[in-house]
């Protein structure tokens, strides 16, 4: 598995969260939304200019800003 930032993933890509780089309020917000190490995450949709992106975590759809997505390291399945 290749570890990349969530912001670099394409629509339809999925993987397992490896790490959160953010600190403070942003990290707490992501954890509260279920974005924690070991959780499966899938990119569902990207806005026309790429920001925000919609992801699916634990069966829920979440919208994340690109700067938030850049803080999430994901082990991408399929060697992407």
Please give the tally of structural domains in the chain.
1
User: Domain containing 45: what range?
Assistant: 2-79
* Model confidence pLDDT, tens digit, residues 33-75: 889 999 999 999 999 887 899 999 999 999 999 999 999 999 9
Exposure letters 48-65 (e unless 16+ CB within 10 A, then b): eeeebbebebeeeebebe
* CATH number, domain with residue 23: 2.30.30.90
* Model confidence pLDDT, tens digit, residues 21-38: 877 888 888 888 889 999
């Amino acid at each position: 598995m290749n570890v990349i930032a969530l912001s670099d993933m394409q629509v339809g890509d999925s993987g397992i969260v490896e790490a959160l780089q953010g600190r403070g309020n942003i990290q707490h917000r992501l954890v509260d939304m279920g974005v924690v190490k070991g959780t499966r995450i899938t990119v569902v949709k990207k806005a026309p200019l790429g920001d925000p992106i919609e992801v699916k975590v634990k069966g829920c759809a979440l919208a994340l800003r690109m700067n938030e997505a850049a803080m999430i390291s994901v082990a991408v399945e399929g060697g992407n």
